[in-house]
Amino acid sequence: MALEKVNDENQQTAASSQKPQSPIGFVQKLLIIYWRSLLLLFVGVYLPLQIFGLLALEVQQKEGSFPWDLPILVTVHSLAQPQLDVFAAMLTKLGSFWTVLPILSIIALILLVQRRWRSLTYLVITTAGSAIINRTAKEFWHRVRPDLWNSVAPEFDYSFPSGHSMTSMTLIAVLVVLTWGSAWCWLVLILGSLFVLAIGWTRLYLGVHFPSDIIAGWMVAIAWAIGVSLIIRPLSQSANIISEKPVSETKLLSEEQELFNQE
């Protein structure tokens, strides 16, 4: 009798678990599972793209600068002096693609040796995509650089969005993603933020970019780096360059394997 009672209870439990859920309950469970990803998608991808879109639309329609562009440039340049000229010209080189490329290459080599193929794929796609996006955007918008004074480090290509800002932001965003969940993450975030701001300042001080160029470059880099991370998912199973290598670094996830088999 006791055994029959237990079987009846198990059957009732199984039957209740098979009952169709209400739409509200189903949505609640999805939100509980994915609220972090949705928040990251909204804050890290949608908002930056929205800001970039507003800036790009104004640049395309007005074919000039924003009301706040010139005052900021003049204010920054009001502090100009020979020593700062040399300092800014040297510091700005740290944000160029050809300076950042060796750093990224070293990181890529480390990931390759550690067999962190997922993280390596994320790094390559993010950095290569950022460079391609910047070049095509410059050619599409054809924004002429500011010409308010003779720069000690002149540039001769188009201005929008800033390549140095995109490159520096992409580097820091990749490092933050790859160290996420480790003790190094906050150090990378703090020092990286100072680095990105410093590169942005040099572009304004040297008079080769409008402030809107700098902001646009930052926004595109953030949106692209976070967007790629949501697809490649280097964060899965604490996959960062400090922790032990998870299985997902060298093998497809179950849902990825299913998609691959369908092709």
| Residue-by-residue DSSP string for 106-168 | HHHHHHHHTT-HHHHHHHHHHHHHHHHHHHHHHHHH-PPPP-SS--SS---S--SS-HHHHHH
pLDDT, the chain, mean: 84
Q: What is the pLDDT of residues 156-212, one digit of tens each?
A: 889 999 999 999 999 999 999 999 888 888 999 999 999 999 999 999 999 999 999
Report DSSP letters for 51-76, one per residue: HHHHHHHHHHHH-S--TTHHHHHHHH
37 vs 46: which has the higher pLDDT: 46
**pLDDT greater than 60 at residue 11:** no
Distance set, CA 46 to CA 27, 52, 135, 224 (Å): 22, 10, 22, 10
- pTM assigned to the model: 0.83
Question: CA 76, 81, 84, 89 torsion: positive or negative?
Answer: positive
User: Averaged over 125-138, what is the pLDDT?
Assistant: 95
| pLDDT for residue 200 | 95
Distance CA 198, CA 218 (A): 13
Q: Which residue has the tokens 């939100």?
A: 31
Q: What is the pLDDT of residues 43-101, one digit of tens each?
A: 999 999 999 999 999 888 876 678 898 999 999 988 889 899 899 999 999 999 999 99
CB contact set of 70 (below 8 Å; sequence gap of 6+): 146, 148
Listed residue (228, 259, 237) closest to 120, CA to CA: 228
**pLDDT greater than 50 at residue 113:** yes
Listed range (34-43, 120-129, 219-228) with the worst mean pLDDT: 34-43
| pLDDT for residue 238 | 46
CB–CB of 174/108 below 8 Å? Answer: no
For the chain, what percentages of helix, strand and coil (3-state, to nearest 5) are there? 75, 0, 25
| pLDDT for residue 154 | 81
| pLDDT for residue 146 | 87
Backbone angles phi, psi at 203, to 5 degrees: -70, -35
CB–CB of 111/239 below 8 Å? Answer: no
CB contact set of 99 (below 8 Å; sequence gap of 6+): 93
Backbone angles phi, psi at 115, to 5 degrees: 60, 35
CB–CB of 72/153 below 8 Å? Answer: no
